[in-house]
Amino acid sequence: MDLDYGSLAELVALAEARGGTVSELVLEQQAEQLEESQEQLYERMREQYKVMEASAAQGLKEGVRSASGLTGGDAHRVRQRLEEGRSLCGPVFAGALARAMAVAEWNAAMGRIVAAPTAGACGILPGTLLSLRQALGLGEREVVMALFTAGAVGLVLSGHFQLAGAKGGCQAECGAASAMAAAAAVELAGGAPFMVENAVAIALKSSLGLVCDPVAGLVEAPCIKRNAAGTATALMAAELALAGVASLIPADEVMQAMKRVGDAMPPALRETAEGGLAATPTAKRLYERVFGKGCEACGACAGE
């Protein structure tokens, strides 16, 4: 079986033709390609899921702070508001936001996380999946299998552009993570493979042009809150796709457009901390607070 991870349309078409899910197809193909058993690969993915689960639990605890001292505790605040019955969005949405921020905050606190697909976007996929597992009453195996679908989407994306903010802005990190999470969410909800493709396209379109502008050059602000935003995008894209809403532009073409947009971004908006939010007066003061006045390690204070 020859599966081309360069095209999402081809992957989805093959899954539809076989009458199964994307994850089943990917697991079977990867086992054959890597000359390992499906159960071996499943267990490896399960280990990744357990790390995601643990990092979310750690990040939700009270008292989590980043190494810089700039961030931490916001995931706990969101969960607390939810537990007090004051959430505007309900348990699925608010729970996903809290968990996404928790993983991102745990990353900033130097905890153990899974780069999904990058450390800067590490909370979006687990935030989405963990919340849906609780809401839908799903078993562990279903969620682990959905990670194979997310992984396949990530492989296709990586064939179109590099999944790094330094190359394509935050659209290449949080945008990719949103697409991966949306694909997994659709499968978890029983959606057909063609709905997975539509969810990916919708998530990517909604992230197109997102810049990477880390304050003080750290993966904290606005990165942590963008993990929450990326989770919201993933759930929105999955909801629309499951309702039968189709993307007018195919997912593969959206990926090509994202590559062109990333290439067109000036360096100041690609993780250099020289533009966007990183160039604001408050961001420069925060930089000095963390690194000391006059330090030019990341260029955020250049010219000051």
- Residue 212 phi/psi, 5-degree rounding, is -110, 110
* Residue 5: predicted pLDDT: 84
Residues 6+ apart with CB under 8 A from 65: 71, 72, 73, 109
* Residue 293: predicted pLDDT: 82
Q: What is the pLDDT of residues 22-47, one digit of tens each?
A: 999 999 999 999 999 999 999 999 99
Per-domain residue ranges of the chain: 8-266
Three-state secondary structure call for residue 270: strand
pLDDT-derived band at 1 (thresholds 50, 70, 90) equals low
* Residue 295: predicted pLDDT: 54
Tokens describing residue 109: 């606190």
Give the C-alpha separation, 276 to 278, whole Å.
5
According to DSSP, the residues that pair with 270 across neighbouring strands are: 212
Q: Are 25 and 1 in contact (CB under 8 A)?
A: no
Please report, in angstroms and rounded to a whole number, the separation of the first and last CA atoms in the chain. 59
Q: Residue 104 to residues 55, 205, 243: CA-CA distances in angstroms?
A: 9, 23, 30
In angstroms and rounded to an integer, the radius of gyration of the C-alpha atoms of the chain is: 19
- Residue 250 phi/psi, 5-degree rounding, is -60, 150
Average pLDDT, rounded, for the chain: 95
Half-sphere CA count of 231, side-chain side, radius 13 A? 32
- What is the arithmetic mean of pLDDT over 185-213? 98
- What is the arithmetic mean of pLDDT over 2-30? 92
* Residue 304: predicted pLDDT: 38
Give the C-alpha separation, 201 to 255, whole Å.
8
Options 1.10.4100, 1.10.10, 2.40.50, 1.10.3210; CATH for 8-266 is 1.10.4100
* Residue 2: predicted pLDDT: 59
- What is the arithmetic mean of pLDDT over 176-180? 98
Q: Are 166 and 271 in contact (CB under 8 A)?
A: yes
* Residue 300: predicted pLDDT: 46
Q: Please state which of the ranges 5-9, 81-85, 147-151 shows the lowest mean pLDDT.
A: 5-9
Q: What is the pLDDT of residues 201-236, one digit of tens each?
A: 999 999 999 999 999 999 999 999 999 999 999 999
Q: What is the pLDDT of residues 122-151, one digit of tens each?
A: 999 999 999 999 999 999 999 999 999 999
Q: Which of 111, 93, 90 is nearest to 102 (CA)?
A: 111
Q: What is the pLDDT of residues 269-300, one digit of tens each?
A: 999 999 999 999 999 999 999 999 865 544 44
pLDDT at 302 over 70: no
* Residue 301: predicted pLDDT: 44
Give the C-alpha separation, 233 to 207, whole Å.
8
Residues 6+ apart with CB under 8 A from 202: 182, 236, 237, 240, 241, 245, 247
Q: Which of 270, 257, 92, 87 is nearest to 164 (CA)?
A: 270
Give the C-alpha separation, 79 to 59, whole Å.
11
pLDDT-derived band at 183 (thresholds 50, 70, 90) equals very high
* Residue 291: predicted pLDDT: 95
Give the C-alpha separation, 241 to 23, whole Å.
18
- What is the arithmetic mean of pLDDT over 95-102? 98
Count how many residues are written for the chain: 304
Q: Which of 283, 272, 168 is nearest to 213 (CA)?
A: 272
Cα angle for residues 2, 125, 41 (degrees, 5° grid)? 40
